[in-house]
Structure 1
Amino acid sequence: MNSDDPRAQRTRARLKAAVLDLAAQQELTTITVSALAKRAEVNRATVYLHYPDVDSLVTDAMEDAVAAVARAAALCPLDAPRDRAPDPLEDLFEHVAANVTMYARMLGPHGSARFATRMRDRLTAELTHRFATGQRPRGWDDVPVEIHAAYLAGALVGVVAHWVSAREGPGHARTRQEAALAFWRLFRTGCQGLPED
């Protein structure tokens, strides 16, 4: 199948909209291909023609969200003060808060491992590129660039996953601003240059 064909693009768009609608109402593990086909008004064979399984469809449907998160993380000025999260990070947590049910489902215990991996990999690539183009703080030369980027990307995905699933109780960040600031203080420590010997 030619993925550039306008009919194929329309079908994929319908399938992505259908899976996001269903995921807003139920856990990912309970979404069936039959339900997807019915919601998208296509037959089951059409679903399989475009996607091998529900998880790959969900990951594709959330690609714009992954890109938005990666862009926001890559735009954070690493030298911003500790007491205020940078605007791109605030924007990132605002985006997550606006889609909290979806992120909780995607990153929760019954979520999509592919989505979490895709999000982490995209963030790692953005940070690796940033570090490779001279925007890496000094003092980390003894740590490979990709490892440094993967460490920070994994931390962000972990914090987002925790925040969307555990926003109640003592010791938890209740608002997106609290979560962004808490993450920024940790992230900034992992990005700041180490003192000279």
Structure 2
Amino acid sequence: MNPDDPRAQRTRTRLRAAILHLAARRDPAALTMAAVARQAEVNRATVYQHYPDLDSLLTDAMEDAVTHLAHAAALCPLDAPRDHAPAPLLDLFGHVAANAALYQRMLGTQGSARFITRIRHGVTTALTDRFTQGHRPPCPPGVPVDVHAAYLAGALTGVIAHWLTERPADPPHDIALAFWRLFRPAGAPATNTPP
């Protein structure tokens, strides 16, 4: 099958929409290819022609979300005041809040390990690129750029997951500010030289 064929692209779009619709309403572990096929109004064999398993389909469907998170994380200005979360971070947490049901399911205990890995990888890559260009927050000497980026990506993913599962009533602004304060501890200089 040619993935560039317009019919194939339309089918994949329907499949992605179907799984996002279902995943926002029930645990990803409870989803089946048959349910996705019914929601997308295609036969089950068609789903398998495009995706080998549900995790692949779900990860592909969430790719825009991963891109959004990675982009917002990489745009945070390092010189923003410690007591005011920067606009890209507020945007990131606002996006998650607007799609809370889906993120809760994807990042919760029954969520998709592949999706969690994809978020961490996407954010790590975006931060590594930014840090390599000289926009790196303070860290101890000798810490490789990619290790620093992976550390922060894991922290961000962990904070989002904890917020959605343990503190869902907290406003996104409050969680963004808490994360920013952890990211920029008191007394930390605003910039760091590249390694």
Fold conserved between structures, TM > 0.5: yes
- 2: CA distance between counterparts of 1:71 and 1:24? 23
Query: Post-superposition shift, 1:58?
Result: 0.7
- 2: CA distance between counterparts of 1:116 and 1:139? 25
SS of residue in 2 equivalent to 1:165: helix
CA contact (8 A) 1:139 1:193 kept: no
- 2: CA distance between counterparts of 1:139 and 1:28? 37
Task: Could you tell me which runs of 5 or more consecutive residues in structure 2 were left unpaired when the two chains were aligned.
Answer: none
Per mean C-alpha deviation after superposition, the further-off stretch among 96-105 and 140-149 is 140-149
Deviation per residue, 1:123-176 (Å, 9 max, x gap): 0000000011121246644101100000000000000011111116xxxx7111
Q: Sequence identity of aligned pairs in percent?
A: 63
Kindly provide the amino acid, as one letter, of the partner of residue 136 in structure 1.
R
Task: Could you tell me which runs of 5 or more consecutive residues in structure 1 were left unpaired when the two chains were aligned.
Answer: none
Match runs of 1:106-145 below 5 Å: 106-137=106-137, 140-145=140-145
Kindly provide the amino acid, as one letter, of the partner of residue 42 in structure 1.
V
- 2: CA distance between counterparts of 1:82 and 1:57? 39
Match runs of 1:168-183 below 5 Å: 174-183=170-179
CA contact (8 A) 2:12 2:50 kept: yes
Kindly provide the amino acid, as one letter, of the partner of residue 9 in structure 1.
Q
Residues 79 and 7 of structure 1, relative CA distance in 2, 3 Å threshold: same
Kindly provide the amino acid, as one letter, of the partner of residue 96 in structure 2.
V
TM-score (norm 2): 0.92
CA contact (8 A) 1:108 1:165 kept: yes
Match runs of 1:14-25 below 5 Å: 14-25=14-25
- 2: CA distance between counterparts of 1:167 and 1:24? 18
Partner of residue 87, structure 1: 87
RMSD: 1.7
- 2: CA distance between counterparts of 1:191 and 1:122? 26
Query: Post-superposition shift, 1:2?
Result: 1.2
